[in-house]
Homo-oligomer: A and B are copies of this chain.
Amino acid sequence: MIVRDFNKLKNTDRDVKDAQWSSVRMLLADDKMGFSFHITTLEAGSEHTFHYKNHFESVYCMSGKGSITDLGTGETHEITPGVMYALNLHDKHTLRAEEELVMACCFNPPVTGTEVHQADGSYAAPATQDA
């Protein structure tokens, strides 16, 4: 059994930060769960465009307020606590945080922890898909 505490992982090397967001990697590929699990915080007033071409991701809003626009369809959905979106079609999207958003995120295949967002908003595919 793996037991980890978000509060103890904040500001360690498992807390990945980029422009106006940070993400605590609670589970990564080397935990061999078949998915990774992250707690991601998006700063109030920030806007982010991502396109996970190589991953499925689900995102559950634990606190805050914002919106997500599906750039394929143009549809916008409100994000409030209890709302989940799942990028089952590798949907390119823009996420806006009106208030600070704290989100519980699952990735399949699992993120290894070394990815950075590429210019196209994606993470590179893992070296092996069966990690």
Contact = CB atoms under 8 A, between A and B. Distances in A.
Contacts of A106: 33, 35, 37, 106
Contacts of A12: none
Interface residues of A, number: 38
B56 A34 contact: yes
A89 interface: yes
Nearest to A89: B1
A109 to B, nearest CB: 8
Contact of A58 (B27, B60, B86, B93): B27
Interface string A86-130: 111101010000000000101010000000000000000000000
Nearest to A79: B3
Interface of A: 1-7, 26-27, 31-35, 37, 39, 56, 58, 60, 62, 68, 70, 73, 75, 77, 82-89, 91, 93, 104, 106, 108
Contacts of A108: 33-35, 108
A37 B2 CA distance: 19
A91 B2 CA distance: 10
Identify the 8 closest CB pairs spanning chains A and B, nearest first.
Answer: A6-B82, A34-B108, A2-B86, A1-B91, A7-B82, A33-B56, A104-B104, A3-B77
